[in-house]
C-alpha cells in the first residue's frame, strides 16, 4: 500500500464519522489510485473501491464532482464506482461520461434511457460513440443531443440512423450542415438533401460530392415526388381520388369526359386527380392552379393534353363556378381565355408542361417543407 498513507491513518479516518474525515478519507484513497509510485495490489484495489462506493453516498456534490474529475480517465476504479458517478447529478457525471473508457455500451445505454438530456449530451461528444449508443441517443435525445452527435466525427451512425436523420433534416435546419460535413454521408443521401437545404448548402453538395447538375433533375426528382406523395397520402379523400383515377387509367378508361363528369358532380378532388394524371403534374400543382385561379396555366395544361377548344371552355366554366358559385359572371373572362387558348401552340404547351413537371416538383417540396415547419 502507498507508503505515504499508513493503514493506521486510513483506519482512523474511516472510524471518524465527521464530514471532514469522510472527505479526507475519500481524497486520500483517490490519491492512492492516481499516485504513479503507489500501485495497489488486487486485494487493496477491491477494498478501496468498496470504501469509495460507500463513501460516495454520504459526501457533498462538490466532493463527488472533484472525485469524478480526478478519476474520469483512471482504469483502476471499479465499474460499480464509475457507473455510480455516471448516473449522478450532471455536474458529477459529466467528466466520466465524456472521458471514462471503463463505461461500456450497455452502461451508456442504461444512462441514456434513464437520465437527462444533459447526460445524453455528454455521451454524444465522447471520443468514440458506437452505432448502438448513437441509435439510443437519436431515439431518446433532444435536438441539442442529436446535433452534437452528428457533429462528432468519431460517432458511428448506422445506415438506418443516417437515413432517418436526413429525413428529419427536412424540417430541422440545424442538422443539415453537420450532416453534409460528415465523411460517411452517402452520395445518394446528399442527392436527397439537395432539395431542402439552403442555396449555400446546395453549392456545397454540388462541389464536394462532384454532382453533375444535369443529372440532379432526374436523380432528385424521385425524392421530391416521394415528399409530395407522402403528404397527399395524409389526406384521406384525396388519396381515394388518386387511387380511383389510377385504377381507371390502368384500364384505359381515364379521359376528359371523366374530368367533366366529376366537375359537374362537384367531386373536385376526383377532377383534380384526373387532370393531374392526364397532364403528368402533381395533384398539389393542379390544386394550386384551380384555387389560385391561374387561368393562363390552366389553358396551357389543357392545350398540352390535347383538349379541344370547346372542351376547355366547358372545363373552364365548371371550375369558375366551383370557385365563385353558379351565378359567377363568366362571359368576358371566357372570351379572353378562349382567345388566349387559340394563340397557344400545342408544341409550346407540351414543352411548358414538361418544364413545369420538373420545376414544380422542386417548388412543391419547398411548399411542403414550409408547411411542416
pLDDT in tens, 197-208: 766 676 667 667
Q: What SS3 state is found at 129? A: strand
> Residue 209's closest CA among 226, 189, 223, 225?
189
> Residue 30's closest CA among 7, 63, 58?
63
pLDDT over 80 at 127, yes or no: yes
Q: Which residues pair with 129 in a beta bridge?
A: 155
Per-residue pLDDT band at 193 (split at 50, 70, 90): confident
pLDDT over 60 at 219, yes or no: no
* Residue corresponding to grid cell 478519507: 25
More confident residue, 196 or 130: 130
Query: What percentage of the chain exceeds 70 in pLDDT?
Result: 69
Contacts of 243 (CB under 8 A, 6+ apart): none
pLDDT at 112: 97
307-313: average pLDDT: 89
pLDDT at 124: 98
| Mean pLDDT across the chain | 78
pLDDT in tens, 245-286: 898 888 888 998 999 898 888 888 899 999 989 988 878 788
Q: Give the CATH fold of the 7-174 domain.
A: 1.25.10
pLDDT in tens, 313-344: 888 888 888 776 655 556 677 888 888 888 88
All structural domains of the chain with their residue ranges: 7-174, 229-372
Per-residue pLDDT band at 7 (split at 50, 70, 90): very low
pLDDT over 80 at 216, yes or no: no
CB 179 within 8 A of CB 166: yes
pLDDT at 17: 53
Phi, psi of 129 (to 5 degrees): -130, 120
More confident residue, 17 or 106: 106
At how many degrees (to 10) do helices 105-114 and 90-99 cross? 150
pLDDT in tens, 147-167: 999 999 999 999 999 999 998
> Residue 120's closest CA among 108, 106, 104?
108
Per-residue pLDDT band at 85 (split at 50, 70, 90): very high
Query: What percentage of the chain exceeds 90 in pLDDT?
Result: 25
pLDDT over 50 at 6, yes or no: no
**pTM for the predicted model, two decimal places:** 0.52
pLDDT in tens, 20-35: 555 665 666 666 665 5
Give the cell for residue 336. Answer: 379572353
Amino acid at each position: 500500500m502507498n507508503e505515504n498513507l499508513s493503514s493506521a491513518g486510513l483506519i482512523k479516518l474511516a472510524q471518524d464519522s465527521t464530514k471532514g474525515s469522510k472527505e479526507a478519507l475519500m481524497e486520500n484513497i483517490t490519491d492512492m489510485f492516481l499516485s504513479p509510485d503507489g500501485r495497489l495490489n488486487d486485494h487493496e484495489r477491491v477494498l478501496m473501491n468498496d470504501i469509495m462506493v460507500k463513501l460516495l453516498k454520504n459526501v457533498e456534490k462538490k466532493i463527488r464532482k472533484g472525485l469524478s474529475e480526478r478519476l474520469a480517465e483512471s482504469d483502476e476504479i471499479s465499474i460499480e464506482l464509475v457507473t455510480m458517478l455516471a448516473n449522478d447529478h450532471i455536474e458529477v457525471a459529466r467528466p466520466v461520461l465524456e472521458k471514462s473508457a471503463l463505461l461500456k455500451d450497455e452502461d451508456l445505454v442504461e444512462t441514456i434511457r434513464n437520465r437527462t438530456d444533459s447526460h445524453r449530451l455528454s455521451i454524444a461528444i465522447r471520443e468514440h460513440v458506437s452505432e448502438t449508443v448513437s441509435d439510443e441517443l437519436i431515439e431518446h435525445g433532444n435536438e441539442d443531443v442529436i446535433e452534437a452527435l452528428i457533429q462528432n466525427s468519431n460517432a458511428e451512425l448506422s445506415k438506418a440512423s443516417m437515413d432517418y436523420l436526413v429525413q428529419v433534416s427536412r424540417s430541422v435546419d440545424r442538422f443539415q450542415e453537420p450532416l453534409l460535413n460528415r465523411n460517411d454521408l452517402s452520395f445518394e443521401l446528399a442527392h436527397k438533401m439537395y432539395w431542402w437545404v439552403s442555396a449555400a448548402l446546395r453549392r456545397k453538395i454540388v462541389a464536394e460530392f462532384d454532382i453533375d447538375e444535369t443529372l440532379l433533375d432526374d436523380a432528385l426528382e424521385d425524392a421530391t415526388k416521394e415528399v409530395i406523395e407522402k403528404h397527399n397520402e395524409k389526406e384521406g379523400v384525396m388519396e381515394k381520388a388518386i387511387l380511383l383515377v389510377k385504377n381507371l387509367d390502368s384500364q384505359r378508361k381515364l379521359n376528359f369526359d371523366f374530368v367533366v363528369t366529376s366537375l359537374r358532380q362537384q367531386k373536385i378532388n376526383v377532377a383534380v386527380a384526373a387532370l393531374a394524371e392526364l397532364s403528368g403534374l402533381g395533384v398539389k400543382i393542379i390544386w394550386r392552379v384551380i384555387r389560385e385561379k391561374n387561368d393562363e396555366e390552366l389553358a396551357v395544361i389543357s392545350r398540352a393534353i390535347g383538349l379541344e377548344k370547346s372542351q376547355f371552355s366547358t372545363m373552364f366554366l365548371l371550375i369558375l363556378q366551383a370557385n365563385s358559385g353558379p351565378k359567377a359572371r363568366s362571359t368576358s373572362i371566357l372570351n379572353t381565355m378562349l382567345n388566349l387558348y387559340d394563340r397557344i401552340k400545342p408544341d409550346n404547351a407540351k414543352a411548358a408542361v414538361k418544364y413545369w413537371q420538373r420545376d414544380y416538383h422542386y417548388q412543391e417540396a419547398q411548399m411542403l417543407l414550409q408547411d411542416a415547419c
